[in-house]
A and B are shown apart, each in its own frame.
Chain A
Amino acid sequence: MGTLRVVSVSLGSRRRDHTATVELLGRPVEIARRGVDGDVEAARRAIAELDGRVDAIGLGGVDVYLQVGDERYVLADGERLLRAAVRTPCVDGSGLKQTLEPRAVRWLAGHGPWPLAGRRVLLVSAFDRYGMACALEEIGCEVRYGDLMFHADVPYAIRSLAELERMARRLLREMVKLPIHMLYPTGTQQERPPEPRFLEHFAWAEVVAGDFHLIRRHLPGPEVLAGKAVLTQTTTAEDRAELAARGVRYLFTTTPLLAGRSFGTNALEAALVAVAGRGAPLAAGEYEEMLDAMRYRPEVIDLAAEGGDPGAGARGSA
C-alpha cells in the first residue's frame, strides 16, 4: 500500500509549517501543513490546486461548522473555502473535534497528575467547542465561557450552557457572515505578543481551555497563571516554552502525538478520512471507532518537570 497524502491548508502563519510521515492505523500517511498567513484567497487557491491530487485536505485556522445545542451555524467565508475542493474530501476538523475533545475531557477527569473533574475552567470559546463545553460540565467543572470576550472584546462571561445556547441563537447566525479575520486571529495576528486582558477570569480559573491562538491573545503572566493548567488542541515547542515562562504547570493537548509530532485537528481528521478511503468525511461513530483502534489518549505535559527546558516538557498519559 502506498503512502497516503494529506495537506492541511491553514489560515495561520507559515512559521508553523511542517511535513511528517506517520503510521496511522497501519497506513503510512504524509501530512503536510501549509500556512497562508491569513490570506483567504491564497487558501482558496491552494485548496483548488490540491483538489484531486491528494487523498484528503484539511482546512485549519478556522471552524466552518459550529454546532451549539441543536443548532448548526456555518461560517460563510469558511464554507466558500471548503467548496474549492470538489473531488477530494476537505474537512475543517469540526467533525472529529466533537468526538475527540469530549473523550479527552472525560479521560482527563480522573487520570493524570492533575485530574480535571470539578475544576474552575475558563473556556475561551465554546461556540466552536460545544462538545468540550458539555463534557466539562458533565465532569462537574464550573465553567465560564469567554466567547464574547475573546471574539468580540466584550467584557462579559457567559456562565451556563443554557446561556451559551441562547447567545449563539442571537449572535452566531449574524456573526458567521463576517469575514474570518474579524472572528479569529489569523496569519501574523497569531504572532503578536499577548495583550493581557480579562484578568479577573484568568485569575478565577484553575484551567484555561480552548483554541490556543485565542488563549494566547490575552494571556497574562506568571502572577496570574502560576501553577495552572491549559487544555488546548495543538501546540509547538515555542508555544510550550511561552506557557512555561508564564508559569503554567500542566498542558493538556487533545490532539495526539503521531511519531512525536503534533497536528491540528483538521489535519488529523483529514488523515483519518484518507485512511478510511471513502472519499468523504466520516460520521461521529466512525471517528470513535478509529480513535478506539488508535488507543487514543490526550497528551499530558508537566511543563515544570523539564526545569531549564520547559519547551520540551515531560510527556505522558500518566
Chain B
Amino acid sequence: MTSGPAMDRVLAAFARSFNERPELAEMTQGWDRVILLRAHEAGWTRALAVRAGRLSVLDSQETPSSADIVLEAPSDTLAAIFSGELSPTEPYLDGTLLVRGSEADMMKLDVFTIMVWGE
C-alpha cells in the first residue's frame, strides 16, 4: 500500500517532469482540468490541476470534492501510473482503474501520462 506522503512525492516528481516538457504545454493548450485521485483502501485523495499548460499538485485545502476527471484505483496502481512504471491503459482495460469523466479526457490523460515518462 502506498501511503499519502509517498504519493505526494510521486506526484511532485510527476509535476516536475510534466512541466519540464515544453511539448506538453502545447498539447494541453485549452485543456484546463482538475483531476482527482482516490485510493479508497489507503484512505487518501489527491488532486492535480492543469492550467495554462502547467500541471500542479493541489494541497489538501484546495482539493475539490468534484473534478473533471476522477481516477479510482488501489494506491499502488495510482503510484505506479504516476511514477511511470505502469501505463494507465492496462489497469483501465482490466477494471483496476476506474475513470469517471469523458472518454475524450481519459484518452488525453493517457497520452499525457505516457508522454511525461517517455520511452
Contacts and interface: CB of A to CB of B under 8 A. Distances in A.
Contact of B119 (A154, A155, A170, A182): A170
B114 A174 contact: yes
Interface stretch (B10-18, B71-79, B104-112): B104-112
B90 A177 contact: yes
B23 interface: yes
Interface stretch (B25-33, B43-51, B62-70): B25-33
B119 A178 contact: no
B87 interface: yes
Contacts of A175: 89, 110
A153 B103 contact: no
A182 to B, nearest CB: 6
B119 A169 contact: yes
B103 A182 contact: yes
B119 A152 contact: no
B115 interface: yes
Interface string A10-35: 00000000000000000000000000
A156 B89 contact: no
A153 B119 contact: no
Contacts of B103: 182
Interface residues of B, number: 19
A171 interface: yes
Given A170-B114, A170-B119, A156 B90 contact: no
A148 interface: yes
Contact of A148 (B30, B90, B111): B111
Given A170-B118, A170-B119, A182-B103, A152 B90 contact: no
Contacts, number: 42
A170 B21 CA distance: 14
Contacts of A155: 26-27, 29-30
Contacts of B118: 170
A156 B93 contact: no
Interface string A115-159: 000000000000000000000000000000000100011111000
Contacts of B87: 174
A171 B104 CA distance: 16
B114 A177 contact: no
A174 B87 CA distance: 7
A168 B8 CA distance: 30
A170 B115 contact: yes
Contacts of B115: 170-171
A152 B111 contact: yes
A153 B27 contact: no
Contacts of A152: 107-108, 111
A-B pairs with the 7 shortest C-beta distances?
Answer: A156-B27, A174-B89, A174-B87, A154-B27, A177-B89, A152-B111, A152-B107
Interface of B: 23, 26-27, 29-30, 87, 89-90, 93, 103-104, 107-108, 110-111, 114-115, 118-119
25 contacts: A148-B111, A152-B108, A152-B111, A153-B104, A153-B108, A154-B27, A154-B108, A155-B26, A166-B119, A169-B119, A170-B114, A170-B115, A170-B118, A170-B119, A171-B114, A174-B89, A174-B114, A175-B89, A175-B110, A177-B90, A178-B89, A178-B93, A178-B107, A178-B110, A182-B103
Given A174-B110, A182-B107, 14 more contacts: A148-B111, A152-B108, A153-B107, A154-B27, A154-B108, A155-B30, A156-B26, A169-B119, A170-B119, A171-B114, A174-B114, A175-B110, A178-B93, A182-B103
